[in-house]
């Protein structure tokens, strides 16, 4: 983010300043992080229902929100931490040391906040960013429609200019976490004259009259996505971000944040999980020479783990390059495609390793971990489809990175 880069340039914190900052963090954690929450991260993912927030969780969220450290590099004036990258890294490390986790997250942090910082007016920034920094508001994304999936710009939800407000009518789909969200950042059509330039970026209150949400039951048995219907919903004019017709530009920029997080999120999930070969040791066992008893699967697991490590190295390199260049690195374009494919391969290998126990749906005879794995495998099919399918990613790589012409 530009603000952090600027802050880095202005405040090239030397080692001694950083030590002082670390001391501040340690004191803050000692005073505010409830030890009983150690390692129990229950950060609200956008696709899970909010669990009951206990008093300790709430106190921790409020304390971090007050400091702005849940969004450490965002500017202080909007409720962020105003930290340099070095300080943010130090904060992360100090938190990890005591098993503390960031209680502020979700789509507001991952996607909307960075977009608002770039495109919103001062008034909008002051209204919408602080609640994100404090973890008070859950946002959802209103992009896809029944006839606007990969061809997103074909969206038809209409926002009609009624003087002091827009009157919104239309249907969104695959609204992640729509049933639990307070607000929605939405791509709407303000003009039918031009496919791309007729799109605007609008913030809509999910509790407003005329908003209806229906969860969609998926093959995993879960309902992480919704259909969202807008019927004569009145949206104040001041909720338009940027200019009318600028929505496609803003919306695409936001997708870049989404893709970075989607691949990164997959990577993090697997980092926390047991290595595949450990799972295999348990279900398959080792032979007398100390090798996995299924020779063919052993090799495929090794191949997977090596490619997975190459992916992690690539994600790290993309981050380092982006930092050094002060802009998104070219190879960020492959992270979503590569990370989601590997994530799915991993889930399929898990089933192969566990046999029938990897296919349990519910009830007795299965460990909870095994049942969770089944659902994760099925839910994971979404990852190569949402956020720009793998095929769309390939188009983007070919056109923007490799400079190949528009296909016919």
Task: Tell the smallest beta-carbon distance from residue 318 to other proteins (Å).
Answer: 9
Task: Tell the smallest beta-carbon distance from residue 369 to other proteins (Å).
Answer: 20
Chain centroid to Cα 23, Å, comes to 31
Instruction: List the one residue out of 166, 187, 15, 159 whose CA is nearest residue 86.
Output: 15
Rounded to whole angstroms, how far apart are CA atoms 25 and 28? 5
Is residue 364 flagged as an active site residue?
no
Look at phi and psi of residue 120 and say left if phi exceeds 0, alpha if psi is from -120 to 50, else beta.
beta
Tokens of 183: 């607000």
Task: Tell the smallest beta-carbon distance from residue 55 to other proteins (Å).
Answer: 43
Rounded to whole angstroms, how far apart are CA atoms 371 and 359? 7
Given the residues 94, 145, 244, 258, the one annotated as active site: 258
For other proteins, the closer of residues 176 and 260 by Cβ is 260
Task: Tell the smallest beta-carbon distance from residue 61 to other proteins (Å).
Answer: 35
For other proteins, the closer of residues 193 and 295 by Cβ is 295
For other proteins, the closer of residues 214 and 316 by Cβ is 316
Q: Are 361 and 374 in contact (CB under 8 A)?
A: yes
> Which residues are near other proteins by CB under 8 A?
275, 277, 280-281, 286, 290-292, 298-299, 301-303, 305-307, 309-311, 313-314, 316-317, 320-321, 323-324, 331, 334, 337-338, 391, 393-395, 397-399, 401-408
For other proteins, the closer of residues 102 and 314 by Cβ is 314
For other proteins, the closer of residues 323 and 375 by Cβ is 323
Task: Tell the smallest beta-carbon distance from residue 279 to other proteins (Å).
Answer: 11
Residues with a known catalytic role: 258
């Amino acid at each position: 983010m530009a603000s952090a880069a600027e802050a880095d340039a202005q405040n090239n914190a030397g080692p001694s300043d950083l030590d002082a900052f670390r001391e501040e963090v340690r004191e803050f954690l000692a005073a505010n992080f409830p030890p009983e929450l150690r390692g129990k991260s229950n950060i609200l993912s956008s696709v899970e229902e909010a669990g009951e927030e206990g008093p300790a969780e709430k106190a921790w969220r409020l304390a971090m929100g007050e400091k702005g450290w849940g969004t450490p590099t965002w500017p202080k004036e909007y409720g962020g931490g105003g930290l340099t990258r070095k300080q943010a890294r130090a904060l992360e490390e100090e938190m990890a040391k005591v098993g503390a986790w960031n209680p502020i997250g979700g789509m507001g942090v991952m996607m909307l906040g960075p977009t608002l910082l770039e495109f919103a007016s001062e008034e909008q920034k002051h209204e919408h960013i602080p609640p994100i920094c404090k973890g008070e508001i859950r946002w959802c994304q209103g992009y896809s429609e029944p006839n606007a999936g990969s061809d997103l710009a074909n969206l038809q939800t209409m926002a009609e200019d009624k003087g002091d407000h827009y009157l919104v009518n239309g249907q969104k789909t695959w609204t992640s976490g729509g049933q639990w969200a307070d607000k929605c950042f939405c791509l709407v059509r303000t003009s039918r004259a031009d496919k791309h330039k007729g799109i605007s970026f609008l913030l809509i209150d999910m509790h407003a009259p005329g908003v209806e949400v229906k969860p969609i039951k998926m093959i995993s048995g879960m309902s992480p996505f919704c259909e969202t219907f807008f019927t004569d919903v009145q949206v104040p004019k001041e909720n338009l971000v940027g200019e009318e017709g600028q929505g496609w530009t803003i919306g695409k920029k936001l997708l870049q944040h989404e893709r970075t997080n989607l691949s990164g999120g997959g990577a993090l999930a697997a980092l926390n999980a047991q290595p595949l070969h450990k799972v295999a040791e348990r279900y398959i066992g080792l032979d007398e020479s100390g090798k996995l008893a299924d020779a063919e699967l052993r090799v495929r697991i090794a191949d997977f783990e090596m490619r997975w490590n190459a992916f992690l190295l690539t994600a790290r390199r993309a981050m380092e390059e982006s930092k050094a260049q002060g802009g998104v690195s070219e190879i960020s374009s492959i992270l979503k495609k590569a990370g989601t494919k590997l994530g799915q391969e991993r889930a399929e290998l898990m089933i192969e390793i566990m046999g029938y126990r990897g296919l349990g749906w519910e009830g007795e005879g299965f460990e909870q971990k095994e049942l969770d794995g089944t659902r994760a495998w099925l839910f994971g099919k979404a990852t190569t489809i949402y956020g720009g399918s793998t095929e769309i990613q390939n188009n983007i790589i070919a056109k923007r990175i490799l400079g190949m012409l528009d296909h016919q």
